[in-house]
Structure 1
Amino acid sequence: MAAEYNALQRNHTWRLVDRPPGPTLSLGNGFSSIMCLLDKSLYGLRQAPRAWFTRFAEFIVQLGFRATRSDSSLFVLHRGGHVAYLLLYVDDIVLTGTSSTLLRTVIDRLRAEFTVRDMGALSFFLGIDVKRTKDGFYLTQDRYAEDILEREGMTNCKPVATPIDAKGKLPADGPAVNDAHTYWSLAGALRYLTMTRPNIAYAVQQVCLHMHDPRLRHMALLKHILRYVRGTTSHGILLRPSADLTVTAYSDVDWGGCPDTRRSTSGFCVYLGDSLVSWSSKRQPTVSRSSVEAEYRAVAIAAAECIWL
């Protein structure tokens, strides 16, 4: 009990208080008359993230923010013709808006209620580097990509020119990999890398199709993607300012491309003005009996994304 109590002391903030009347858990060793009261905790306890989000959301709602329907972690404030956006991820907050005075007011109110620190202009968030250029915001994950390559010992590997070869559709047979956990870990890491790298979305989708039973040829494709990343770590996505916020989508499909199921793979990309905001590469859920049917399904998927946006 003493060792467990010491470990809890390092991760959370506790106070020793007098034991209230009624049955309580005795710590022993002379502590029968006192108990531990948890002041605050962000990590370690199972319900801590939910409790923290509820506490924070209730406060900013009092400031006038409203949670968006599409993302419960994104809050919007409208005040006096100006608007502010607040994005919360655990204890990381991104705050932006159309008025510096409004932003300063929100920051001051947050400081009065919570222990927060103003980190200045956004430069890094959840593994994504944000670089300001004359053309807009350039988002990259070069540090995250370097970490993946270093973890796999491929920092000095020879780069390749494309993320996938012409025969990227791989069957599900062949010798199994020795360590499936390594395959799952790398595929998941590359999946997150597609947040700013739409050019590898299709190749990563092909790798993720075989997560349940990876084979050596699938691992070879995964290593091929890593070699492509080696030569393109600085690649990213540019968010341009635009006066025209028209939503434009492009879709494509290969008919019956999967060698095992004969299902087609749909792909789309959606632009908001001049900025690419959404993209996907996914195998269709059913078999299309003609290329026209496959194209219609691909268009329907892209249209649904546009409606959601």
Structure 2
Amino acid sequence: MLNLEEDLDNEKKESKSSTLSVQHSTDREVIDASAVLADSQLKQTGKRTHRDETQSEEERVEQEAAKAEPKKARRGLREASERRRPAYLDDYVVNAVQATSRVLDRNRKPIRGSDVHIPRNRREMLRSKWKEFFLMAEMEEMAALKTKGVIQEIASEEVPNEALPIKTMWVYAAKTDHQGFVIRFKARIVALGNYQRPGVDFRETFAPVARMSTFRLLLALAAKLALYGLRQSGREWNSELNQWLGEHGYQQSLTEPCLYYRFDGDTIMYVLVYVDDKLVATNNEQCKKDLFVDLDKAYGIKDQGQLNEYLGIEVEQTAEHIVIRQSKYAREILEKLGYSEAHAVGNPMEVNTRLVPTNDEEEVNTEFPYREAIGMLMYLTTSTRPDLAFVLSQLSRFVAHPSAKHVGTVKRVLRYLAGTVDYGIM
């Protein structure tokens, strides 16, 4: 039960799937947007997107024609070539729900993700430079949740006396492309599960997620076989999807509970589930289309085309190979730690380097964010950068008491990373 006096954020599960494809779904709480966004002066018409999200074809043609055509002498109050472009052409974008164009600022320039400060709460968002984009994202979230019927507004007197209303909040994010430019501002409503009472508001909370090794294995199979490419809310959604896939002939892997498969004659179908993401690999395009027709009818999940990103991992698919890398994430690490312009080195660790625990007499380095750096590098290593595995396995032993030598080795890893940001696994 949700307290609608609080700001609520919950994921409109954007269905993303592909050939290999990623899919999101929506199965959460919804509230009426009018209550939360009463202070917003924005109005939604049709399938409206951010006004500056894309440049239309009409505007591009007009601009090019204006550059090529010599200026004419003014003969009246306003020549036809000087007439303003109709404002309505800025209001709509074809296929707006699936658009991946970069968001443009008021000067019609792409916005770098590093320039966007993500607000921690709604009060901070309302003071943000990017308030207009976040408010529009809130409206999109509320409209989608209301359409799905995920939550329902009730009068306060209808709440049972023994019930404890769960507080809610908004969570904001800016999604970027592989070059770090913003392609979408996101606002999500979440229920604060830490206010739920164990044994009263929830019981079982475990919900499986796919291992990174399973994701890499599925990509390897696709390349080899030429395939096309609230606390308990996660558990409830997993149970729902597990039942649905079972009813449609899919079997759950015994060793990887998030991997489902179906073999029908020569047809091979794999479905990998990571919370809201669905990745599909098959050698039968029609079967994939049929799957998403059924998913669309049941949950509003649509096929989003060929997979190009999964959990922040960039996926490059060609007829010859599949490559996964984390170039954008690597650049974010370097920028956050101040090594984006560092001089690159040829290896992550010097030969004959021996790392030992810090002595009692040795001073512990507390200025460098050692623990944070190791955490970010470990995710990079376990996903797409096995070349960093050995040095990170050594450095991770000293996160509690890093010495100057340990910090120096981490800095060398960062300098090595600066020269190899585009490395990955083929």
Shared fold by TM > 0.5? Answer: yes
Structure 1 pair 135/10, CA: closer, same or farther in 2 (3 Å)?
Answer: closer
Question: What is the correspondence of 1:74-113 to structure 2 with a 5 Å cutoff?
Answer: 74-113=259-298
Name the one with the larger strand percent: 1
For 1:72 and 1:143, locate their aligned partners in 2 and report how far apart those are by CA, in whole Å: 30
Q: Helix, strand or coil for the counterpart of 2:242?
A: helix
Quote the offset at 1:212 in angstroms: 3.4
Q: Deviations over 1:58-93 (max 9, x none)?
A: 111111111112211111112233111111111111
Q: Deviations over 1:97-132 (max 9, x none)?
A: 111111111111111111223221011101211112
Partner of 1:66: 251
For 2:287 and 2:231, locate their aligned partners in 1 and report how far apart those are by CA, in whole Å: 35
Matched, 1:160 2:345: yes
Structure 1 pair 228/22, CA: closer, same or farther in 2 (3 Å)?
Answer: closer
For 1:9 and 1:198, locate their aligned partners in 2 and report how far apart those are by CA, in whole Å: 40
- Contact 2:313-2:325 at 8 Å conserved across structures: yes
Structure 1 pair 10/62, CA: closer, same or farther in 2 (3 Å)?
Answer: same
Quote the offset at 1:17 in angstroms: 4.7
Quote the offset at 1:7 in angstroms: 2.9
For 1:189 and 1:153, locate their aligned partners in 2 and report how far apart those are by CA, in whole Å: 14
Q: Unaligned regions of 5+ residues in structure 2, if any? A: 11-28, 31-150, 166-188, 193-229
For 1:79 and 1:220, locate their aligned partners in 2 and report how far apart those are by CA, in whole Å: 56
- TM-score between both structures, scaled by the size of structure 1: 0.65
Quote the offset at 1:179 in angstroms: 5.2
Structure 1 pair 148/176, CA: closer, same or farther in 2 (3 Å)?
Answer: same
Which residue of 16, 20, 28 corresponds with 2:153? 16
Partner of 1:190: 377
Aligned residues, how many?
A: 222
Matched, 1:150 2:335: yes
Give the partner amino acid of 1:186: A
Partner of 2:20: none
Quote the offset at 1:209 in angstroms: 1.8
Greater relative CO, 1 or 2 (CA 8 Å, sep 6+): 2
Partner of 1:138: 323
- TM-score between both structures, scaled by the size of structure 2: 0.48
Q: Helix, strand or coil for the counterpart of 2:268?
A: strand
Identity %: 25
Q: Helix, strand or coil for the counterpart of 1:85?
A: strand
For 1:22 and 1:225, locate their aligned partners in 2 and report how far apart those are by CA, in whole Å: 57
Q: Unaligned regions of 5+ residues in structure 1, if any? A: 28-40, 239-309
Partner of 2:53: none
Which residue of 187, 205, 225 corresponds with 2:413? 225
Q: CA RMSD in A?
A: 2.6
Q: Helix, strand or coil for the counterpart of 2:401?
A: coil
Question: What is the correspondence of 1:192-207 to structure 2 with a 5 Å cutoff?
Answer: 192-194=379-381, 195-207=383-395
Structure 1 pair 78/226, CA: closer, same or farther in 2 (3 Å)?
Answer: same
Question: What is the correspondence of 1:228-243 to structure 2 with a 5 Å cutoff?
Answer: 228-238=416-426
Matched, 1:7 2:6: yes
Q: Helix, strand or coil for the counterpart of 2:335?
A: helix
- Contact 1:42-1:52 at 8 Å conserved across structures: no
Q: Helix, strand or coil for the counterpart of 1:209?
A: helix
Question: What is the correspondence of 1:117-128 to structure 2 with a 5 Å cutoff?
Answer: 117-128=302-313
Q: Helix, strand or coil for the counterpart of 2:153?
A: strand
Which residue of 232, 236, 257 corresponds with 1:47? 232
For 2:153 and 2:191, locate their aligned partners in 1 and report how far apart those are by CA, in whole Å: 20
